[in-house]
């Protein structure tokens, strides 16, 4: 979820400002997800309900919607990532490899951490299970992000999102590959025709998601259920770089409004609001002049590590300190605060030890492609 592995080091100032705004949104959404899970799992929040019942109920009921922020951002950043340069079969394979390194390595490290914690912490201390089941088959399905397809329970909360996000990368990259092939086959030179082909290949699926698949709860394990939110980020990214006319963004936003009129969905309404915010404010540098947003940007940089490590950290805090937090409502509230701060601390450590090396490796794959092209097409002296 961090942008360091997705934006070039020499990105123009406008691009860096856009990504700063994205990181601020990421930081806010990640903290809301952490708070939601703290209010959902463990005895601390049950005791603290006596002190702040309204606040805990609200975070428990609506905090999970923050994942929609990640969906829109994922579409936006992926559109920016694949908007640069040619894109052939080799590029697609490299893109998939980079995406697995970027998402998969920290994800696999989290699984190892969870297995280690359950081996070290005696079962009698555990206040709730860290994961439902474990088997070699389940582990293999997680390595390939196929646990939903193969019917295995997720080893940790939030892992379902990673499966959807990885599937989206595969599908979106394939769509770009098909688009480039058609452009080459029919020798399209007109920018208008290029944009029209891009929209015709992608927007119908998003409209189907909004009006059909997203209305069926049975689809919530499939990419099709969330594609409407992801595509909002895509069309926002394309319009911000001039890949498609800005009117296409507002046309699709109107489609989402129509979908909400047909059936109101909080998740879709939040996605629409986030998309409009990114569209409006990512074009401005105002966020950099407010020190208030700098902590959010900093948390946004480590948001993926925070998303992954907060649940094992919460489990550890609740398990080790269960007798202490259960003494009174005030101690329960303290336990919630400790879990939140411990999650932030664990995320910083994980970012430095695991996620940052994954970003550097992912960048190396991208740079090796650029170097190979420069060697094949040397500039004249």
Output the tens digit of pLDDT for each of the chain's 381 residues.
544 333 333 334 445 555 788 899 999 999 999 999 999 987 899 999 999 999 999 999 999 999 999 999 999 999 988 876 678 899 999 999 999 999 999 999 999 999 999 888 887 777 788 887 788 899 999 999 999 888 888 889 999 999 999 999 999 999 999 999 999 898 888 989 999 999 999 999 999 999 999 999 888 889 999 999 999 999 999 998 889 999 999 999 999 999 999 999 999 999 999 999 999 876 666 655 566 678 899 999 999 999 999 999 999 999 888 778 788 899 999 999 999 999 999 999 999 999 999 999 998 887 665 544 444 444 433
- With respect to residue 365, please indicate whether it lies within any of the assigned structural domains: yes
Task: Give per-residue pLDDT as tens, 60-102.
Answer: 999 999 999 999 999 999 998 887 667 889 999 999 999 999 9
CA 188 to CA 183: how far, in whole Å?
A: 5
Counted domains in the chain: 1
Main-chain phi, psi angles of 264, to 5 degrees: -70, 130
Task: Please indicate, yes or no, if residue 1 is contained in any of the structural domains.
Answer: no
| Residue 79 belongs to a domain | yes
Q: Which residue range forms the structural domain that includes residue 345?
A: 13-369
Angstrom distances, CA of residue 329 to CA of 38, 56, 221, 325: 15, 13, 37, 8
**Is 379 within the bounds of a domain?**
no
* Sign, CA torsion 256/261/263/264: positive
For residue 271, the Cα-to-chain-centroid distance in whole angstroms is: 13
pLDDT computed for residue 133 by the predictor: 73
Residue 55: how many CA atoms within 13 Å on its side-chain side? 11
Residue 161 lies in a domain: yes
Residue 158 domain flag: yes
- Residue 207 CA to residue 227 CA, distance in Å, equals 9
Residue 380 backbone class (left: φ over 0; alpha: ψ -120 to 50; beta: rest): beta
| pLDDT for 3 | 43
User: Whole-model pTM?
Assistant: 0.89
Enter the tokens of residue 145: 């992000």
Note whether residue 376 is domain-resident: no
Give the pair of three-digit tokens for residue 32: 């809301």
How many beta carbons lie within 10 A of that of residue 140, not counting itself? 13
Q: How far apart are CA 143 and CA 153, in angstroms?
A: 13
Is 58 inside a domain boundary?
yes
């Amino acid at each position: 979820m961090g942008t360091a592995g997705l934006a070039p080091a020499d990105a123009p100032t406008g691009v860096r400002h856009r990504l700063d705004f994205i990181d601020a949104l990421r930081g806010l959404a990640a903290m809301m997800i952490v708070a939601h899970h703290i209010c959902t799992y463990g005895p601390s929040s049950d005791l603290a309900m006596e002190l702040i019942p309204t606040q805990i109920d609200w975070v428990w009921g609506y905090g999970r919607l923050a994942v929609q922020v990640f969906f829109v951002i994922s579409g936006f950043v992926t559109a920016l990532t694949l908007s640069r340069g040619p894109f052939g079969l080799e590029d697609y394979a490299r893109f998939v490899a980079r995406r697995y390194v970027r998402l998969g390595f920290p994800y696999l490290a989290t699984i190892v951490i969870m297995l280690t914690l359950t081996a070290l912490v005696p079962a009698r201390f555990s206040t709730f299970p860290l994961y439902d089941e474990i088997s070699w088959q389940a582990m293999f399905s997680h390595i390939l992000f196929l646990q939903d397809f193969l019917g295995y329970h997720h080893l940790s909360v939030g892992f379902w999102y990673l499966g959807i996000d990885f599937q989206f990368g595969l599908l979106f990259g394939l769509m770009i590959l098909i688009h480039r092939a058609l452009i080459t086959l029919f020798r399209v030179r007109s920018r208008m025709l290029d944009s029209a082909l891009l929209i015709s290949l992608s927007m119908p699926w998003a409209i189907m998601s909004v009006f059909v698949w997203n209305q069926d709860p049975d689809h919530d394990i499939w990419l099709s259920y969330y594609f409407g939110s992801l595509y909002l980020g895509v069309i926002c990214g394309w319009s911000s770089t001039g890949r498609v006319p800005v009117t296409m963004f507002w046309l699709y936003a109107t489609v989402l409004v129509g979908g909400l009129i047909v059936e109101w969905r909080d998740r879709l309404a939040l996605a629409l609001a986030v998309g409009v915010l990114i569209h409006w404010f990512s074009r401005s540098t105002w966020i950099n002049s407010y020190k208030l947003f700098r902590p959010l940007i900093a948390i946004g940089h480590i948001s993926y590590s925070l998303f992954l490590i907060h649940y094992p950290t919460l489990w550890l805090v609740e398990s080790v300190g269960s007798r202490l937090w259960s003494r009174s409502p005030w101690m329960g509230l303290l336990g919630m605060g400790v879990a939140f701060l411990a999650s932030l601390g664990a995320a910083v450590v994980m970012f430095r030890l695991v996620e940052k090396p994954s970003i550097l490796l992912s960048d190396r794959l991208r740079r090796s492609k650029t170097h190979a092209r420069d060697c094949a097409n040397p500039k004249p002296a």
